Structure 1
Amino acid sequence: MTDHDPTYAIARTGDETLLFLEFNPCPDCGSIETPWEHGLADEDGELVISYSGVCSGCGASREYLFGLPEHESVGPFPNFGGPEPSELLDAGQWMAVADSAAGSVPVDAAAEDQRAATVMLIARAAVEEVIKFVPPDGDAVPEDAFWTDEGRALRDAEPGRFRVERLLVVRDSYSDPGVV
């Protein structure tokens, strides 16, 4: 996984793909504001998912092509994918999503606060995505599950966060909107 090239990585769901696009701002101006159009396309005889648009910041044309999943993953929001680990976001990026989501919920959020509950669902689902990188009978996310600079930096700063027992505690704590 060290030479990970996301050009034809499998896009398991639209939710996962939109997160990937947020992690990949316009290379010309750094904006993440691009109104994306998506659909199926034929790329050299291979059916792919195409996301294309024009950057709102600088007008640059942008396009990403993704492989189709073997099986469609359906489920309630947030639906990031099936039981297999992501090919679009590495384990550290998923942890960053969880951190950002959970960190945006006030500590004193009421359990009935629907926005807080939704954001905590995103945080929990993102931690579940990190857990998918742990091999069967493994006790931590392996090093090759971190292929981006951002992901490796998060792991290097606090490697203990990627141990299974800690991931499970964090995931379970994210069930309650009042716990961050």
Structure 2
Amino acid sequence: MSTDDYDPPYAIARTPTEVALYLDLTPCPDCGSDQADWRDRLTALDDEPVLIYTGNCADCGALREYVFSPPPGPSPGPFGGLEPSELIDACQWLTAADRIAGQVAADDRSESARTVMTIARQAVEEVVKFIPPSEDAVPDEAFWTDAGRAERALDPGRFRLDRLLVIRDSYASV
């Protein structure tokens, strides 16, 4: 099967790291907590392979379950391949990058700081993947969360390619 023919029934979970970030960003619908003890399994639903993540909310005990399609092949990066995420919207990626980079002091040049900043840079690269080749900004359809749409409305320039590349490159300079 070619990856061009791959049309899964659920959003594609490109890597375990991407799923972990998605689960961290998705609060419990009952109480709003982002804490759960997650378990995963690969199984089949309607003869299609799926990844099922289940966990009980650490605060209210509610059972949470998310079903994803596995990627059609190996993923070359920590978060995913060349295609943009189907789980995490553009704003969520940039917010994650900011939060990750914020863990490092401006004057920290240690190996651990470089590792953290590499992850922040990779999260910014995930935002860039949403930009079509002939465009210069992240398109509206890349913002599917309420928070993402609100952030874009407040500062649409933040999602321009030139600004994203400056942020990405600044994270690489540590």
TM-score scaled by structure 2? 0.90
Q: SS at 1:73's partner residue?
A: coil
Aligned residues: 166
Query: Residue 162 of structure 2 is aligned with which of 125, 150, 165?
Result: 165
Offset at 1:45? 2.2
Distance 1:122 1:103 in 2: 12
Offset at 1:28? 1.5
Correspondence for 1:146: 143
Indicate whether 1:42 and 2:44 are aligned: yes
> What's the % identity of the aligned pairs?
57
Indicate whether 1:87 and 2:89 are aligned: no
Q: Which residue identity is paired with 1:170?
A: I
**1:87-141: CA deviation from partner (whole Å, max 9, x where unpaired):** 00011110111111112221221x1x23322221121011000000000121111
Correspondence for 2:117: 120
Query: Residue 72 of structure 1 is aligned with which of 58, 71, 74?
Result: 74
Distance 1:68 1:38 in 2: 12
Q: Which residue identity is paired with 2:124?
A: V
Q: Which residue identity is paired with 2:55?
A: G
RMSD: 1.4
Distance 1:90 1:151 in 2: 7
Correspondence for 1:97: 96
TM-score scaled by structure 1? 0.87
* Structure 1 residue ranges without an equivalent (≥5): 1-6
Q: SS at 2:127's partner residue?
A: helix
Distance 1:72 1:52 in 2: 23
Correspondence for 2:21: 19
- More relative contact order in 1 or in 2 (CA 8 Å, sep 6+)? 1
Correspondence for 1:4: none
Correspondence for 1:174: 171
* Structure 2 residue ranges without an equivalent (≥5): 1-8
Offset at 1:74? 4.1
Correspondence for 1:3: none
Offset at 1:172? 0.7
Distance 2:114 2:59 in 1: 32
Distance 1:97 1:33 in 2: 17
**1:31-78: CA deviation from partner (whole Å, max 9, x where unpaired):** 221111112122222210010111121211111000111112144xxx
